[in-house]
Amino acid sequence: MRSYHHRDYFFHPCQACGAVANLTRNTPAAGGSERRTYECRRCGQVNIYDVAPEAGTPWTVIDQSSPVS
């Protein structure tokens, strides 16, 4: 039985400031994983993760960019 957490899916802590970042994009990636893009509402940091299909596997940060202000 696989538990599914909507909260973890749509929201993820910002890598820069720790605030809640929103899921803005979700695309399939190689190997059955997903590439998820999260954007922080507080500082504007964008984090892109490679998420393995297996629950409990740590997400891999593949890209992150800070807003230029």
Identified binder of Zn ion from the candidate list 36, 38, 45, 48, rule CB under 5 A: 45
Q: Tokens 């984090």 belong to which residue? A: 47
Q: In 19-45, which positions are buried (b, 16+ CB within 10 angstroms) versus exposed (e)?
A: eebeeeeeeeeeeebebbbbbbeebbb
Number of residues that bind Zn ion (CB under 5 A): 8
16 binds Zn ion (CB under 5 A): yes
48 binds Zn ion (CB under 5 A): no
Identified binder of Zn ion from the candidate list 19, 55, 61, 62, rule CB under 5 A: 19
Q: Which stretch binds Zn ion (CB under 5 A): 5-13, 24-32, 35-43, 59-67?
A: 35-43
User: Looking at residue 10, what DSSP letter applies?
Assistant: H
